[in-house]
């Protein structure tokens, strides 16, 4: 593998900011493709753990029209069963593939809750950080993001599911804490994207409430990313295994787009992009 020279901090930050700004100006949501280099992800665990398979998957997503490739090396299953991985384990999975994926020319985000892993990924060419704990799990994450100057996706999460809570209120409080952490660290407000965390720390009902109430988060004045792809809440409506949830995923993502989501995270790039384009074309005739 030919490892590309590490970009400077300024380069990574400016590239990520320019990418985010450009994508958010488009008439339809940007499509972020999932690339899990893990053995245990809920939908595609083990399929892309071999570097050649991961690169082939990245190329296929690029051919399909993906806007961002989100690379993750630790399963963060939105329900019980994820196996924690130390930073060294994540890095071992990323080192053979990340720089080569970044060299393909499509912006790469790094899906990790560990600052050390994010720092490595940014040095290897990633330009966006995707933190499934919204800057609230690793105290070094927010200062790192501020220093690098890159955009960050702040996802809502919970340690446990509580069916009795008002999930929208919980999410608002979580995001407010994350934004306070970001501000204290010096992360620019316009470099933050919010993610409702479909399925994470939520019942199926709460995930659907969060999606239906997406406009509730307009008060933060920030773009929203929605990743409903193959999530379990779909099976609560229509019993199915993860790879049988394409139609449900597209339905959820079209609703997210109607409610203002600017980025859609999906395993199924071509199908999702087609659905978004057709929906936009129809709506534009009104």
Q: Which residues are annotated as catalytic?
A: 231, 265
The b/e string for 239-249 (b: 16+ C-beta within 10 A; e otherwise) is: ebebeebbebb
Neighbours of 140 (CB within 10 A): 13
Residue 187's nearest CA partner among 178, 197, 196, 195 is 178
Residue 254 makes CB contacts below 8 A (sequence gap 6+) with 275, 276, 279
Q: Are 276 and 253 in contact (CB under 8 A)?
A: yes
- For residue 72, list its beta bridge partners: 36, 111
Q: State the distance between the two ends of the chain, measured CA to CA, in whole angstroms.
A: 51
What are the E-state strand segments in 64-151?
68-72, 108-111, 128-131
Determine the Cα–Cα distance for residues 66 and 31; give it in Å rounded to an integer: 6
């Amino acid at each position: 593998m030919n490892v590309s020279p590490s970009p400077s901090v300024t380069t990574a930050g400016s590239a990520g900011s320019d990418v985010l700004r450009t994508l958010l100006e488009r008439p339809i949501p940007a499509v972020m493709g999932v690339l899990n280099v893990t053995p245990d992800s809920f939908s595609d665990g083990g399929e892309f753990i071999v570097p050649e398979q991961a690169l082939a998957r990245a190329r296929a997503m690029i051919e399909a029209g993906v806007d961002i490739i989100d690379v993750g090396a630790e399963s963060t299953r939105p329900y019980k069963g994820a196996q924690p991985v130390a930073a060294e384990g994540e890095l071992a999975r990323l080192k053979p593939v990340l720089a080569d994926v970044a060299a393909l020319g499509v912006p790469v985000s790094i899906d990790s809750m560990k600052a050390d892993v994010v720092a490595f990924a940014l040095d290897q060419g990633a330009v966006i950080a995707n933190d499934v704990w919204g800057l609230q799990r690793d105290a070094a994450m927010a200062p790192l993001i501020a220093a690098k100057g890159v955009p960050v996706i702040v996802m809502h999460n919970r340690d446990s599911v509580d069916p009795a809570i008002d999930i929208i209120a919980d999410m608002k409080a979580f995001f407010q804490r994350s934004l306070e952490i970001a501000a204290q660290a010096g992360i620019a407000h316009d470099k933050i994207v919010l993610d409702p965390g479909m399925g994470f720390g939520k019942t199926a009902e709460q995930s659907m409430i969060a999606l239906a109430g997406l406009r509730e988060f307009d008060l933060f004045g920030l773009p929203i990313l929605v990743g409903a792809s193959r999530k379990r809440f779909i099976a609560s409506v229509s019993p199915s295994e993860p790879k049988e949830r394409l139609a449900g995923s597209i339905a959820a993502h079209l609703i997210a787009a109607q409610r203002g989501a600017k980025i859609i995270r999906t395993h199924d790039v071509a199908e999702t992009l087609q659905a978004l384009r057709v929906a936009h074309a129809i709506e534009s005739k009104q």
